[in-house]
Amino acid sequence: MTTNKPNLTAPIFLLGCHKSGSSLLRSLLDNHPQLFAIPMEIHYFQYTGQWVDYRLRRSWPNKMNQQEKMASLYQLVEDTNANEDPYADSILAGSLDVDRFRSFMVANQGLAGAEQTPRELFEIYVGALYYALTGAALPEGMRIVEKSVEHAEWAVHLRQMFPDCRFVHIVRNPYASMVAIRKSKTVGDTYPLLRNFILSLQNSYYNLYRNEGILDNYLIVKYEDLLTDTAKVMRTISDFVGIEFTDELLTPTLMGKPWGGNSSTGKSFTKISTAPLESWKSKVEDLEVRLVNAFLEPVLERFGYEPVKPQKSKYYFIKGENWKTYAKNRSLFWLY
């Protein structure tokens, strides 16, 4: 059994903010015979010491040597393997063999632990994940699908690492994303701080605007179109990335098994539902409407999302919001 690192060809990077539909899109690509859809967010740049501004994954720059980077990736894999958060990107439930992951990484660490290039370490990392999941080496010619919410910020670097890569950036109605993020991050009946939620959305869309202006092979799709005309969107994506369109692209799976989703409603599904297109409307708070209007007005106009008109004062007190949270949430308007 060889454990040599793979030489990745034309990787496919899925981009999009939290609760934009990127996990659903990955699950639709999961069971295609030409692809290995990595069943977790790998957070490559964050865990190798880079500066990440995306507020829900934010990290400061940290100069790390090869061994420290590897130790950081080990820890991420161990934590992800044990994660049982129902709103998480994916629940692997112990599917990763952490010992196999470590052995692959060690076998490819280079002479005397010499530093690898960013591409080399990325390829070793992906090869180790495949080996940990299957006990086999990534087949030659198999293409990978990877998605991490903060990687829109790092698309230029990914293109430098993999000149033949493809990007698919999924967008969703920002009001709906805001509601879904808030619901997934709320503990009990306490209304949360919204700063990191709205700034994460703004970061993702800022980088979309920047990336499409400087990168080729950059496709933008809408979550709403994916739900209402799945076959059309998946045909567009398959043509764009250069894979054969098959029926496997119409059914969401995780590692080849039916995927129940990570919806903020807590409900599982066996097929794609259009319910999320309208359900946010009864759950959105007036404060969230005002923040989306203030921070993301260009996004609403660009992608044809109808602006929502606030119905209450921005000083309205929301159920579950304590005084400290109230003050910090209203201060966001001064930030804007």
pLDDT at 270 (0 to 100): 59
pLDDT at 78 (0 to 100): 93
pLDDT at 182 (0 to 100): 97
Percent over 90 (pLDDT), the chain: 82
122 band by pLDDT with thresholds 50, 70 and 90: very high
pLDDT of 328 higher than 60: yes
Output the six-digit token pair for 114: 């010499």
- Mean pLDDT of the chain, nearest integer: 92
pLDDT of 262 higher than 70: no
Output the six-digit token pair for 86: 């129902």
pLDDT at 210 (0 to 100): 97
**Terminal-to-terminal C-alpha distance of the chain:** 56
Whether the Cβ atoms of residue 38 and residue 145 lie closer than 8 Å to each other: yes
pLDDT of 87 higher than 70: no
Residue 2, classified by CB atoms within 10 Å of its CB into exposed (0-12), middle (13-18) or buried (19+), is exposed
As a whole number, mean pLDDT of residues 154-165 equals: 98
311-323 b/e with 16+ CB inside 10 Å = b? eeeeeeeeeebee
pLDDT at 334 (0 to 100): 85
Output the six-digit token pair for 35: 């692809």
pLDDT at 111 (0 to 100): 52
CA 186 to chain centre: 19
Q: Are strands 12-15 and 166-171 parallel, antiparallel or unpaired?
A: parallel
pLDDT at 181 (0 to 100): 97
Amino acid at 245: F
d(C-alpha 2, C-alpha 7), whole Å: 13
Q: Which CATH class is domain 12-335?
A: alpha beta
pLDDT at 89 (0 to 100): 66
Report the predicted TM-score, pTM, of the whole model to 2 decimal places.
0.93
d(C-alpha 123, C-alpha 104), whole Å: 11
Greatest distance between any 2 Cα atoms in the chain:
65
> For the chain, which residues make up each domain, given as ranges?
12-335
Lowest model confidence (mean pLDDT) among 31-35, 88-92, 201-205, 312-316: 88-92
256 band by pLDDT with thresholds 50, 70 and 90: confident
- pLDDT tens per residue across span 227-237: 999 999 999 99
pLDDT of 76 higher than 90: yes
Percent over 70 (pLDDT), the chain: 92
